[in-house]
Amino acid sequence: MFIDIPSELETALAGLSLPPWELDGSSPAQTTVERYRTELAATPQFKEISAALRHALTGEDGGHAVLRLGGLAKALGSSDRFLRLATAFAAEVAVPFSPFPRWPLWKDIGVKIDKDPGKSSGIGYNAFHMDLVNATLPPDYTTLLCVRSDPLGGGLSILSDAHAAVARLSEDSRALLSEPAYHYGTFFDLHGVGEEYKPFPVLDGSTSEGFVRFTAKMLERSRLDHAHADAARDLAKELVRGQVSFMLQPGDYLIVNQRRFLHGREALHNGQEAVPVGDRRLLLQLFLRAPAGASSAEFGQRY
């Protein structure tokens, strides 16, 4: 799960100055991706680290990885140079893109004490979910780059194997979760994620390759009958039962295969109002799309 960068590669990457990316719609242009790939392929052990990253995300027991770029973060800060390197690593996995036309390629997720505590920028528990759950074509990968962790020590990241959780449910619960009975969120000003899916089934496709379209927030904010709500609660319990948790450190780059794992965050530590805005937890988010026609087993292969 945790992939360290060898010192020789780290030194070589710190000395690179990749060009600014050019966008083709909401994704870096193919010419940009190829330029990044060519320059990084010449650095020592880059190919080995890229292969390890893809295996961690798509191998039989994989689905998530944390690429430890802390040394580069210390050397380069959260500069454009550092983001270009992170983007280049992401492009080794799949196609980077932004579904939000009003945002740049990387979206800030800071801390807002007046926000809904359960939101990504809130201070409370952010329960298990997949991003853009109500889109017909949600991102295949969601990624989070840690710029600053919570200085007070809270905000553990949480992950859970969605299909393993589903496998522990009763047949009746799985049948209910396969029915298009669930609703969550709004859908506007989005690009590259298809159409609004409403209502949607939680179990979307085969148990091995389909999305598990779940967000715990729909239990509170959707009109569900008792049977469908109970099935979703059973799944929520199994996700918590199987969760792993860890603290992202500055420079850690978390990549989650959304067809396999759901993610969330423990609450930030009490006292956030006393932390200056510029010192609060800050993540940068980037989404990835698997190449057209790729199966889940092929997500990590080059396109």
Looking at the predicted structure, is the pLDDT value of residue 103 above 90? no
Place of tokens 């530590």: 269
Q: Distance between CA 151 and CA 170 in Å, rounded?
A: 42
300: left (phi over 0), alpha (psi -120 to 50) or beta: alpha
Domain ranges of the chain: 2-294
Q: Which pLDDT band holds residue 293 (cuts at 50, 70, 90)?
A: low
Mean pLDDT on 24-45: 94
Which DSSP letter does residue 269 get?
Answer: P
Residue 303: predicted pLDDT:
26
CATH class of residue range 2-294 = alpha beta
For 113, counting Cβ atoms within 10 Å of its Cβ (0-12 exposed, 13-18 middle, 19+ buried), the class is middle
Which two structure tokens, joined as six digits, stand for 170? 């009763």
Mean pLDDT on 181-186: 91
**What does the pLDDT look like over 80-98, one tens digit per residue?**
999 999 999 999 999 999 9
More confident residue, 205 or 102: 102
- Tell me the one-letter amino acid at 39: E
Residue 206: predicted pLDDT:
59
Q: Strands, DSSP E only, in 60-140?
A: 64-68, 95-97, 107-109, 126-129
Looking at the predicted structure, is the pLDDT value of residue 50 above 60? yes
